[in-house]
Homo-oligomer: A and B are copies of this chain.
Amino acid sequence: MSERLILSVDAMGGDNAPEMVLEGMELSLNKHPDTRFLLFGDEPRLTPLLALHAKVAAVTEVRHTPDSVKGTDKAAQALRSGRNSSMRLAINAVKDGDAHGIISAGNTGALMAMAKFVLKTLPGIDRPAIASYVPTNTGRSLMLDLGANIECDAENLVQFAVMGEVFARQVLGLEYPSVGILNVGAEDLKGKQSVKEAAAILQETDLPIKFYGFIEGDDITAGTVDVIVTDGFTGNVALKTAEGTAKLFGTFLKDALTSSPVSTLGALLARPALNRLKMRMDPRRYNGAMLLGLNGICVKSHGGTDALGFSNAIGVTADLITTAVNESIKADYARLHEGEPTQHSEQTI
């Protein structure tokens, strides 16, 4: 593989694909000008679009794929019959060493199933997890799992903690990131059996994980810990509840500010500030969910996102590659079972 970042992109995934995908690629080139793309999709549709995006066309190789995975396809079905889909062939490119990572805004279940099947999990990791940034009072934290694993045992949660901690260290550049497990109370005796067992393991581990203990739902946005560990069911509900609440707050704010001529004038004066607020809560800023624990870099963009959101997902992919997260997860996980203290890795590609 060359020194240059080569990203494999599923052109056909997402509500507004492939137009949105190409626009997102163009935006991302501003931040990561050295990127090259392998673009998988329907060539007759992509060729005229590339003509509109000369900057993208200059660094992109199109690979025609006859099929694409639909949003309504079941994961197992996509895995069986999607062997020639843009998603599957984009993943294969990572496996084959043609690209350093893959991004898709397509069907999450299908992406998870295909990526796990093609790339396999890292040694010691039973199940990959979906991880994403969440905005907090102090910046941002990483939360996982967000829906890949509906039911998790203690060992799964411990694996998520190891992966999340490595991520926060390598990608976020935190020296000693803190890790908390989401629970219904801060006391040791509360909660599900699986979270209690996972906490006990993390309290005794020799890994240099700064285990904070249990956190509650309101600790997520408070920024109490750098890494929030939970099962995929709870994580998915919590993330979507937070999105819904932010949206409700936005609606209420708009209602309030248009409720009288004076408040409308006030809102007009405060518009730059309100735009800044909107920007801080913008879900597109946090777009790009990482499938951690795979033997290869795979990032899922929100299906309904726009070009800006997609470009952020590309940025997340680039970060994962350049910080060599997978190498560190492998090393730390091996050490967890050997009981040896870890060395903080400095590897990059």
A residues bordering B, Cβ < 8 Å? 74, 135-137, 147, 150-151, 182, 184, 189, 191-192, 216-222, 230, 232-234, 236-253, 255-257, 259-260, 262-263, 265-274, 276-277, 280-281
Contacts and interface: CB of A to CB of B under 8 A. Distances in A.
Contacts of A182: 237
B270 A232 contact: no
B263 A237 contact: no
A300 B140 CA distance: 33
A256 B276 CA distance: 7
Nearest to A272: B263
Nearest to A248: B221
Number of copies: 2
Given A240-B216, A257-B270, A266-B266, A251 B137 contact: yes
A233 B238 CA distance: 11
B184 A232 contact: yes
Contacts of A222: 244, 247-248
B260 A272 contact: yes
B257 A273 contact: yes
A256 B252 CA distance: 17
Contacts of A271: 266
